[in-house]
Structure 1
Amino acid sequence: MIPLYHDLTGETVLVFGGGAVGSRKASRFADEARVVVVSPAFDERLIGLGEGGTESAETDTGSAEADSGSVELARAAPDPEAVRDWIDRVDPALVVAATDDAAVNAAAEAAALDAGALVNRTDVSAADRSGGRGARSVVVPATVEDDPVSVALSTGGASPALAKALRERIEAEIDGAGAMAELSGTLREELKDRGVAPERRREAIRRVVRSEGVWKALQKGESYGRQEADSVIEEVLTR
């Protein structure tokens, strides 16, 4: 598998399953996308996420309606035949199959693929798929973020526990990376505006991002980091 980032802004994510796994998936997408969770019951975290949105009791002819809020809770227990109706109704860009019923998850996966949506089936790992995953069958990786820096890691579904442990280790390693990304991006544009040759520009930025002095200075504040970075750049440009 090749890792890719996907912008779900303005899109809908449909999650089948309101337990711990469905809750974790919903919270992962809620900051960016509209999330609809279909389940007969919801764990406490999901209820908290849905407080700003709406909850509807689903009937045979009813529908889940929601206005504000990033997570919408639809109280229903769809069987394998009903999941396709939900997908047709919600028109999601991504379907997450996270119930404890393999038949429902399989039906959700098949219906999502038929509808041209991406699908994340949580009860089947890469190791369980002898034929591999289709192009629209995706893994949602563990992520570590220090905006605008984002690091994604995955074990292919083989070991969520390992993914969590690695994420915790990486969190410490990238502390301050967001500030460095902002600073180095600004410096790069300034050097370009000054007409600095590309090779010298690249060397200057490489020196900045590898400078322990700049990293330490950034911990004190942006202005301190900028002063240290300017010294590093001038040393490169004047040598």
Structure 2
Amino acid sequence: MIPLYHDFTDETVLVVGGGAVGARKASRFADEARIVAVSPAFDDRLLELAADDNGGGRSGVDLVRAAPDADAVGDWIDRVAPALVVAATDDAAVNAAIEAAAGERGIMVNRTDVSAGPESDGRDANSVIVPATVDDGSVRVALSTGGASPALAKALRERIETEIEGAGAMASLSGQLRAELKARGIAPERRREAIRRVVRSDGVWKALQKGRSYGREEADSVIEEVLTR
């Protein structure tokens, strides 16, 4: 499998299953997509998501109290027209039916009760894994164990959180510097070398911890050294 990023802005995610797993999946997408969750009962986290009408940029969380059986899941998909379907029920037959129905319609599907790793050669091509993610500003790292070990994915995420601390500030600074160097007419090779030196400079990383102005000052020194040598 090849990891890709997908923009769910103005899209709908259909979550079938309202337990802890369904709630966790819904939470992952709620800041970007509209969520429609279908289940006879809902986890407290889902109820809180739906009740949070303060927005925070959310597109909405709709809870539908119903218990789709294997024969009805296709109708729910057609009704909602989602970009992604999450099969998160505790019934393997229903989850399999959701996966099949989504595949028939060319819709991405995340089935939560089985692995989607290399050993799962029979899985539909539309099957996707929702990876663990670590964010720092505009920098996002996604990681997955192919569904084999969620515990390991969580442990790695916690380690990576420490490793990329400050990466968002560095991305913002280096992006600005890159644009400025291009505007100055600096040759592409010199631009690339200057930005490489900035992002690999321990001094710039440390200065950014004090504030953007300190990081900028240190980065300017690094760039000047590259351009004047």
Q: TM-score range by the shorter chain?
A: over 0.9
Q: Does 1:187 align with 2:177?
A: yes
Look up the equivalent residue of 1:108 and give its one-letter code. I
Q: What does residue 50 of structure 1 align with? A: 50
Q: What does residue 18 of structure 2 align with? A: 18
Asked whether the 8 Å contact 2:174–2:199 carries over to 1, the reply is yes
CA drift of 1:70 comes to 2.3
Instruction: State the identity %.
Output: 78
Q: Does 1:117 align with 2:104?
A: no
Deviations 1:139-174 (A, max 9, x none): 010000012000000000000000000000000000
CA drift of 1:39 comes to 0.7
Asked whether the 8 Å contact 1:118–1:138 carries over to 2, the reply is yes
CA drift of 1:52 comes to 3.3
The CA distance in 2 between the partners of 1:69 and 1:52, in whole Å, is 11
Look up the equivalent residue of 1:188 and give its one-letter code. R
Q: What does residue 38 of structure 1 align with? A: 38
Q: What does residue 64 of structure 1 align with? A: none
Q: Does 1:73 align with 2:44?
A: no
Q: What does residue 98 of structure 1 align with? A: 88
Asked whether the 8 Å contact 1:126–1:132 carries over to 2, the reply is no
Q: In structure 1, the residue corresponding to 2:63 is in which secondary structure?
A: strand
Q: Does 1:142 align with 2:132?
A: yes
> Please, what is the CA RMSD of the aligned residues?
1.4
Asked whether the 8 Å contact 2:116–2:128 carries over to 1, the reply is no
The CA distance in 2 between the partners of 1:154 and 1:185, in whole Å, is 28
Deviations 1:62-109 (A, max 9, x none): xxxxxx852111111111111111101000010000110001101111
Asked whether the 8 Å contact 2:15–2:87 carries over to 1, the reply is yes
- Count of residue pairs the alignment pairs up: 225
Q: In structure 2, the residue corresponding to 1:126 is in which secondary structure?
A: coil
Q: What does residue 168 of structure 1 align with? A: 158
Unaligned 5+ residue runs, structure 1?
Answer: 54-67
Q: Does 1:107 align with 2:97?
A: yes
Asked whether the 8 Å contact 1:17–1:39 carries over to 2, the reply is yes
Look up the equivalent residue of 1:11 and give its one-letter code. E
Unaligned 5+ residue runs, structure 2?
Answer: none
Asked whether the 8 Å contact 1:52–1:69 carries over to 2, the reply is no
Look up the equivalent residue of 1:14 and give its one-letter code. L
The CA distance in 1 between the partners of 2:59 and 2:188, in whole Å, is 46
CA drift of 1:8 comes to 1.0
Q: What does residue 8 of structure 2 align with? A: 8
Q: What does residue 60 of structure 1 align with? A: none
